[in-house]
Amino acid sequence: MPPHLGDQDLWSEDIALREAVAQQGAGWAADHLATLGRHMGQAEMVAHSELANRFEPELKTFDRYGMRVDQVEFHPSYHALMDAAVAHQVHSFAWSHARPGAHVAHGALQYMFQQIEGGVMCPMAMAYSAIPSLNATPAVAKEWLPRLLATTYDQRDIPADQKRGVMIGMFMTEKQGGSDVRVNTTKATPAGLAEGVGQAYSLTGHKFFSSAPMCDAFLVLAYSAGGLSCFLVPRWRPDGTRNGIYLQRLKDKLGNKSNASSELEFIDAHGVMLGKEGRGVRTIIDMVQHNRFYCANASAGIMRQGLRLALHHVRHRSAFQRKLVDQPLMRNVLADLAVEAEAAMAYGMRLGRAIDDAESDPMAASLARIGTAIGKYWVCKRAPSHVGESLECLGGAGYVEESGLPRLYREAPLNGIWEGSGNVICLDVWRALQREEAAGPTILAELEAARGGSRQLDAATEALKEDLNNPEDFELRARAVTERAALCLQASLLVRHGPAAVADAFCASRLGQRWHGAYGTLPKGVDFSAIIDRIAPADA
Ligand SMILES: Cc1cc2nc3c(=O)[nH]c(=O)nc-3n(C[C@H](O)[C@H](O)[C@H](O)COP(=O)(O)OP(=O)(O)OC[C@H]3O[C@@H](n4cnc5c(N)ncnc54)[C@H](O)[C@@H]3O)c2cc1C
């Protein structure tokens, strides 16, 4: 039986990550990334994640005197993980380091942290993503941003102005409307003035999927007289009493167990409006974009960790008188998984760079918009089957909780669902192509940069052009076109920046004639050794 993997170094062992971060202009963040990679890879952090997921959060609605408290109690390991994430700025790095490459480095932090723990990443992703929406109302931003950018995790359930650091969640989904938030029914009516920000509102309604409800404030969609608007609703009212947020129950989910996801009611909850009245979706859309960026990086992280665990096992396990890592068909599976994981990670880093450049470069802004939707769809779609295959590399041991793979496996489908399930994302890609003049040309410009580097990619680019120019039945074809765009974009990154072995294997399979998506089907001629050796050094 293989020895325990023990401590990993999520940064220095991951050659592809280090290269992609440097290529996309975030080499200056290497020390910070290395510190997080070393810290989170420790067996102690893996143990925290196991405990935080085994001893699930519990709802505590009332205190000992029967007074409502609406709290969630977590295992101490959850708090240890939150502490580590906030201390390493997994929620704030991009905003605290406003320079080119900041979102690339942020994506790398997400990718590494997610390898060890997914539940804690939910509030981290929401806090990261909330900042552009908070900026829509400068007075609110002035009050909340310094607290949100703090590097101290403060778990106390007390008013935000007394805390050393805060977290922000978002409640959009209602029973009748997750994808279609326009059918939301939560109402907001004017309720006097809020100090420094003008009009205050009182919110009443129900939210059906509200994660991390112990955050200090939430972005909430609700109807005011002028239409669907976005509100900031704190856990505590400005007068220091509890706000009208009543938790009804916690969901019993497939995975993501350490994270509490609740159903709740607002009864006269205090809130202030963010952005313009009736433009709630517009205000929250930046948050949605950044969450989608997170989803893609997180799914890439899940793939990477599954692959890392699989590699460790097959390097030590023998069957039929040979190490598994030396069996030709296992080498094909491993290399295929590695190529997929690298393409997913490289895509996330490229998106990070596009987000960084978006303000000054319209093409980058366009790529950040449509490229994020494309990547979110495809990388999240590939993650569950990827981790399932990594799990199988361990045989029966992979099906056992202690291997860590079942937890990754249960986590994997989540990123495909929230912030736009598969169909919704692909329809969004279609909408962007229709409405935004730069969307199609942006994708093609990205592919042109790799022209001549791969025969298969050049041919696939031509096929994609035809896809994009053919509006017929586009809604029906939205998944097929999004998939082809994702594969071409991933291939172009590998052709331009990756090692030849990885780029050639990707193009020969994903853009070749016989590919159907199952792993272990790379064609003859692939440099298996170069790809497998790149996953992690042999003695790591
Ligand atoms: C673990 C977890 C945590 C979550 N946390 C939060 C949270 O903190 N805050 C929050 O607001 N929400 C949260 N959600 C909810 C999540 O955002 C929604 O579940 C998601 O947006 C989908 O909405 P829905 O469940 O209502 O599905 P529906 O909107 O009913 O969609 C069901 C299916 O139909 C498809 N579909 C929808 N429209 C179309 C169409 N026009 N054509 C074709 N297919 C279509 C969708 O792609 C999906 O596959 C969470 C979900 C999960 C699983």
pLDDT tens digits along 453-503? 999 999 999 999 999 999 899 999 999 999 999 999 999 999 999 999 999
How far is 429 from 280, CA to CA, in rounded Å?
Answer: 21
Give residue 197's pLDDT band: very low, low, confident or very high (50, 70, 90).
confident
User: Of 500, 506, 481, whose CA–CA distance to 339 is shortest?
Assistant: 506
Task: List, in sequence order, every beta strand (DSSP E) within 311-369.
Answer: 318-319, 322-323
Which one, of 340, 102, 130, 116, lies nearest residue 216 by Cα?
130
Q: How far apart are CA 434 and CA 117, in angstroms?
A: 38
Best probe residue, ligand 1, of 129, 170, 184, 209 (max atoms within 8 Å of C-beta): 209
Q: What average pLDDT score do residues 34-42 get?
A: 98
Other Cβ atoms less than 10 A from the Cβ of 219: the count is: 25
Q: Which of 74, 70, 168 has the alpha carbon at shortest distance from 123?
A: 168
Closest CA to 10 of 38, 49, 50: 38
Residue 59 has pLDDT above 70, yes or no: yes
470 alpha carbon – ligand 1 mean position (Å): 29
Q: Is the pLDDT of residue 539 over 90?
A: no
Number of H helices, E strands in the chain: 20, 11
Cα of 360 to ligand 1 centre, how many Å? Answer: 33
**Is 203:220 a contact under the CB 8 Å cutoff?**
yes
| Residue 386: closest CA among 503, 308, 500 | 308
For 284-333, write each residue's pLDDT tens digit.
888 899 999 999 999 999 999 999 999 999 999 999 999 999 999 999 99
Task: Pick from 170, 257, 423, 473 the residue to mutate for probing ligand 1's pocket: most ligand atoms within 8 Å of its CB.
Answer: 423
Atom of ligand 1 minimally distant from the CA of 420: 21
What is the reported pLDDT for 204? 98
Of 411, 418, 375, whose CA–CA distance to 391 is shortest?
A: 411
**Which residues, in sequence order, are bridge partners of residue 261?**
211
26 CA to middle of ligand 1, Å? 33
Q: What amino acid is encoded at 502 in this protein? A: V
What mean pLDDT do residues 174-178 have? 92
* Model confidence pLDDT, tens digit, residues 358-408: 999 999 999 999 999 999 999 999 999 999 999 999 999 999 999 999 999
pLDDT at 409: 98
Q: What is the residue with the minimal CA distance to atom 14 of ligand 1? A: 209
* Residue written as token pair 């008188």: 321
| Minimum CA distance residue for ligand 1 atom 1 | 414
Residue nearest to atom 48 of ligand 1 (CA): 421
Residue at token pair 């941003």: 145
- pLDDT at residue 224 tops 90: yes
CA distances to 52, 210, 363, 407, 417 from 118, rounded to whole Å, are 11, 16, 32, 9, 14
- What average pLDDT is seen over the chain? 96
The helix (H) or strand (E) run that includes residue 231 is strand 227-234
Ligand 1 geometric centre to CA of 173 (Å): 8
E strand intervals along 151-197: 168-171, 187-194
CA 498–ligand 1 middle distance (angstroms): 35
Alpha-carbon distance of 120 to 452, in angstroms, equals 43
Q: What is the average per-residue pLDDT within 20-31?
A: 98
Place of tokens 């420790």: 42
Q: Which of 418, 429, 431 has most ligand 1 atoms within 8 Å of its beta carbon, as the pocket-test mutant?
A: 418
Gap between the Cα atoms of 354 and 365, Å rounded:
7
Which atom in ligand 1 lies closest to the alpha carbon of residue 177?
26
Element (H, E) at 199: strand 198-211
Q: Are strands 227-234 and 318-319 parallel, antiparallel or unpaired?
A: unpaired
Residue with tokens 């009443």: 204
Q: State which ligand 1 atom lies nearest to the alpha carbon of 253.
A: 1
**Is the predicted pLDDT of residue 540 greater than 60, yes or no?**
no
Confidence of residue 169 (pLDDT cuts 50, 70, 90): very high
Q: Residue 398 region, left (φ>0) first, then alpha (ψ -120 to 50), else beta? A: alpha
The band of 196, judged by pLDDT with boundaries at 50, 70 and 90, is confident
What pLDDT is attached to residue 192? Answer: 87
The strand pairing partners of 177, in sequence order, are 174
Q: Percentage of the chain with pLDDT > 70?
A: 100
Structure tokens at 464: 């994609």
Best mutation site among 53, 424, 473 for ligand 1, i.e. most ligand atoms within 8 A of its Cβ?
Answer: 424
pLDDT confidence band for 194 (50 / 70 / 90): confident
Q: 91-142 pLDDT, tens per residue?
A: 999 999 989 999 999 999 999 999 999 999 999 999 999 999 999 899 999 9
State which ligand 1 atom lies nearest to the alpha carbon of 422.
47
The residue contributing the CA closest to ligand 1 atom 23 is: 178
User: How far out from the chain centre does Cα 493 lie?
Assistant: 20
Using one digit for the tens of pLDDT, what is the confidence trace for 334-367? 999 999 999 999 999 999 999 999 999 999 999 9
pTM given for the model:
0.97
Q: Taking the C-alpha atoms of 333, 334, 339 and 343 in order, what is their torsion angle to the nearest 10 degrees?
A: 110
Q: Choose among 218, 219, 211, 217: nearest CA to 257.
A: 211
Do β-strands 58-62 and 68-73 pair in parallel, antiparallel, or remain unpaired?
antiparallel
Name, in order, each residue with C-beta under 8 angstroms of 461's C-beta and a sequence gap of 6 or more. Answer: 444, 447, 448, 451, 488
Q: Which atom of ligand 1 sits closest to the CA of residue 256? A: 1
Q: Could you please report the per-residue DSSP string of 49-82? A: HHHHHHS--EEEEE-TTS-EEEEEE--HHHHHHH
Ligand 1 pocket by C-beta < 6 Å: which residues?
A: 169-173, 178-180, 209-211, 253, 256, 261, 414, 417-418, 421-424, 427
Cα–Cα nearest to 446, from 502, 486, 483: 486
Work out the burial of residue 278: count CB atoms within 10 Å of its CB; fewer than 13 is exposed, 13-18 middle, 19 or more buried: middle
